[in-house]
A and B are shown apart, each in its own frame.
Chain A
């Protein structure tokens, strides 16, 4: 009735091996998917990718269409989002990490920020539509889009910034306070400079999210067919992901190639931002030490 101890041991080890293989397979899938995705997009898009594609405006003819207006729109939106989100995000993180009393209100604010990070991006689009586009009367402008994006990225900006501040050793703060510095002198001259590498990396990564976000821009009224590059914050806009969305949803294969080429540019910008984040961190670390 009872299996041989040896046989029993072998079955258990075989089970372990099968399970290990299964886990390995699951872990490999992500890499395989990534390679597949990049392969298909490069295969279909590289042929369309040239200088004319980057400097041309949208067109009804796929072969003539380009991404100039949408690329400029994306740069405007990301630039303004950074301009709004960075100071507000750093200030909020300083307040929560360094100044706020540890009480119920602070706890409520922190939970609230964590909850905001989980709100679907399209909901931010609806907020932007009702508040910035309609209530403040910014219309369907770059300004309305940037403010919406600011609210969208702010929770992540605050959270990453808080983590960077938390990583600064307590003894540095205590040493500064013991020498008679006020709390704010300690923050501005000791804590913040030491946290800068982490803050900068976190900022770049969380703001680069604004490059790829599509849904909130559609809700605040991105226009697809724009024949001029935006000149200021009050202009109507289109953005790279909007352009990709439009091209993808057309039935003709020629437009799909355009979409793939647009995706290559979008991913290139995102990877460049990530690379910049890594470089910044290394550079700032070297300068500090």
Chain B
């Protein structure tokens, strides 16, 4: 083959060979980058497979109905009980309290930053929110357990050392920056001409914000609320430290409560041999947590896509 003179010049032939070598390398690079992308897909399937798989063996021992409707959670000691309602109510009460704190403050601060603040004021307030968002959750836990609880006990003697209220307060502080920045994005997406039309009719800023901007940005704002709730539900260290490890079905936020995340931490701190009941329960609780946050995130995404389609 090589004795036959190439129809192309020699130089061109080597260039072509180089091109095929390059084609192989580029093929390899393409494949490699695709495989890297697959890691994320594998992670998702891994999470689903592991959670369902390990929970499956848990639900061989405990019926799903007992798990979802039982009002007593005592999986590690005799007499055992596997009702997740105390964990679920603890989680929801703390998340709802956090949302109650973070939603109005987050929305109002977003309104201030995007509608009222001068660039100078904004350049001071915005980084403060960003720093607050970057503080690790264990720091909030410490803050809640030591200072917030102390403050609450000064107000009312009924607060226990571990209480749901301080957990809700610190989680509220944690998700506040997220609510604020997502609401700001939603407000910024409202076209300028809507505001200007309202101003042109003589409306005050208050009227423009409450009657034009917020209604127009409503789905984005609602979506930020739902995401905040989802974050609060999945929050772990702050609630573990501040709200404690007492699984009980109560409305009294002055008492300690155990959230789903706190239970997983509690079991993980000890030794958990694979196949033990403790090991199985954390996956069943993890599955419940995963489904709950997944539904909330999905709902939030639905809201955002609706809101995007209005103005584009």
A contact set with B: CB distance below 8 Å = 12-13, 15-16, 19-20, 22-31, 33-34, 37, 40-41, 44, 87-89, 91-92, 94-96, 99-100, 109, 112-116, 118-127, 129-131, 134, 151, 154-155, 158, 182-184, 208, 211-215, 218-219, 221, 241, 244-245, 248-249, 256, 259-260, 263, 266-267, 270, 274
A interface footprint on B98-132 (CB within 8 Å = 1, 0 otherwise): 00000011111101110111000000110011011
Tell me the chain B residues, 249-291 only, with Cβ under 8 Å from chain A: 261, 264-265, 268-269, 274, 282-283, 286, 289-290
Tell me whether A24 and B233 are in contact (CB under 8 A).
Answer: no
Q: Return the CB mask of B220-232 against A: 1 if under 8 Å, else 0.
A: 0000000100100
25 A–B pairs (Cβ distance < 8 Å), ordered by A: A23-B109, A26-B112, A29-B109, A29-B176, A33-B173, A34-B131, A44-B146, A88-B36, A89-B36, A91-B35, A92-B37, A95-B37, A116-B40, A118-B227, A122-B234, A122-B261, A122-B264, A122-B289, A155-B40, A184-B29, A212-B137, A215-B264, A244-B138, A245-B240, A256-B142
Residue A26 contacts which of B34, B108, B274 (CB distance < 8 angstroms)?
B108
Say yes or no: B132 contacts A34, CB within 8 Å: yes
Pick from B4-12, B72-80, B188-196, B201-209 the stretch touching chain A: B201-209
Interface residues of B (CB under 8 A from A): 22, 25-26, 29-30, 32-37, 39-41, 43-44, 46-47, 50-51, 54, 104-109, 111-113, 115-117, 124-125, 128-129, 131-132, 134-139, 141-143, 145-147, 173, 176-177, 180, 204-207, 209-210, 227, 230, 233-237, 240-241, 261, 264-265, 268-269, 274, 282-283, 286, 289-290, 293-294, 297, 301
Measured between alpha carbons, how far is A88 from B43 in the docked complex, in Å?
Answer: 13
Q: Which of B26, B113, B286 contacts A182 (CB 8 A)?
A: B26
Is A30 touching B109 in the complex (CB atoms < 8 A)?
yes
- Most chain A CB neighbours (cut-off 10 Å) among B107, B134, B145, B176: B134
Q: How far is the CB of A175 from chain B (nearest CB, A)?
A: 19
Residues of the A chain whose Cβ atoms lie less than 8 Å from the Cβ of B236: 120-122, 214-215
Which residues of B have CB within 8 Å of A116? 40, 43-44
Q: Which of B36, B109, B143, B297 contacts A92 (CB 8 A)?
A: B36
| CB atoms of B112 and A24 under 8 A apart | yes
Q: Which residue of B lies closest to A23 (CB)?
A: B112
User: Hey, which chain A residues are within 8 Å of B139, CB to CB?
Assistant: 37, 41, 212, 244, 263, 266-267
Are A34 and B128 in touch, CB under 8 angstroms?
yes
Q: Which residues of A contact B39 (CB under 8 A)?
A: 88, 92, 151, 154
Given contacts A19-B206, A131-B46, A215-B265, contact A31 B40 (CB under 8 A): no
CB of B138 within 8 A of CB of A248, answer: yes
A249 to B238, CA, bound (A): 11
CB-contact partner of A27 in B46, B109, B147, B241, under 8 A: B109
Which residues on the B side are within 8 Å of A215 (C-beta)?
137, 236-237, 261, 264-265
* Closest A residue by C-beta to B180: A30
CB distance from A10 to the nearest CB of B (A): 11
The residue on A at minimum CB distance from B266 is A218
Q: Which residue of B lies closest to A131 (CB)?
A: B46
| Count of CB-CB pairs between chains A and B under 8 Å | 238
Instruction: Please tell me if the beta carbons of A126 and B50 are within 8 angstroms of each other in the complex.
Output: yes
- CA A91 – CA B38 in complex, angstroms? 11
* Residues on A with beta carbons closer than 8 Å to the beta carbon of B40: 92, 109, 112-113, 116, 154-155, 158
Q: Residues of A contacting B32 with CB < 8 Å?
A: 91
A30 touches B132 (CB 8 A): yes
Contact of B112 among A27, A88, A115 (CB under 8 A): A27
Which 7 residue pairs across A and B have the least CB separation, nearest first?
A120-B234, A212-B136, A26-B108, A91-B36, A23-B112, A95-B33, A215-B236
Cβ–Cβ contact A248 & B142, under 8 A = yes
The distance from the CB of A180 to the nearest CB of chain B, in whole angstroms, is 11
Cα–Cα, bound, A151→B36 (Å): 12
CB-CB under 8 A from B234, the residues of chain A are 119-123
CA distance A244 to B142 in the complex (A): 8
CA A29 – CA B146 in complex, angstroms?
20
Nearest Cβ distance between residue A128 and chain B, in whole angstroms? 10
When chains A and B are docked, how far (Å) is the Cα of A218 from the Cα of B236?
A: 11
Q: By the criterion CB–CB under 8 Å, are A245 and B47 in contact? A: no
Contacts A131-B50, A182-B22, A212-B138 known; 17 new A-B pairs at CB < 8 A:
A16-B204, A92-B40, A95-B30, A99-B34, A115-B294, A118-B230, A119-B234, A120-B290, A154-B40, A154-B43, A182-B26, A208-B134, A219-B282, A245-B141, A245-B237, A249-B241, A270-B136
Contact A259 B112 (CB under 8 A): no
Say yes or no: B227 contacts A123, CB within 8 Å.
no
> Which of B26, B51, B204 counts the most A-chain CB atoms under 10 A from its CB?
B204
A274 to B35, CA, bound (A): 30
Q: Are A126 and B51 in contact (CB under 8 A)?
A: yes
Asked if A118 contacts B265 (CB within 8 A), the reply is no
A208–B131 alpha-carbon span in the complex (Å): 13
How far apart are the CA atoms of A27 and B34 in the complex, in Å? 44
Rounded to whole Å, the gap between the CB of B12 and the closest CB of chain A is 15
- Tell whether, in the assembled complex, residue B124 and residue A31 are in contact, meaning their CB atoms are under 8 Å apart: yes
Task: Please measure, in the bound complex, the distance between the C-alpha atom of A200 and the C-alpha atom of B297, giving whole angstroms.
Answer: 29
Candidates B36, B115, B116; contact of A95 at CB < 8 Å: B36
